Amino acid sequence: MPCFFALGALIIPRFTIVYLWFFSNWFVGVFDSLLWPILGFFFAPTTLLWFTFVEQFFAGQWGVFQIAVLVLAILTDISPSTSKKRKSD
């Protein structure tokens, strides 16, 4: 059961990005090139979603709250790749 939660945490942000890309204009005018959304999709989907949220709803104004949530999004994106290895008993 915990594997399903981990799988969901990895897949849900990517499904959200694909849904927003095809069915809305969420990413229009946010990025100058197509490179950053593609890299964000593969390496930092939660950070990509939060960045575009700030650009859309806060008009690109980065305050303390926006930066704090950005740090949480970055930590969320890198947490699956930083697991501790157990020693064999």
Residue with tokens 């950005």: 70
In 23-32, which positions are buried (b, 16+ CB within 10 angstroms) versus exposed (e)? eeebbeebbe
pTM: 0.80
Of residues 42, 48, 10, the one with CA closest to residue 26:
48
- pLDDT (tens, 9 = 90+) of the chain, 89 residues, equals 677 877 887 889 999 999 999 999 888 888 888 898 899 899 999 999 999 999 989 988 999 999 999 999 999 888 766 666 666 55
Please report, for the chain, the start and end positions of each structural domain, with discontinuous segments joined by +.
Answer: 2-80
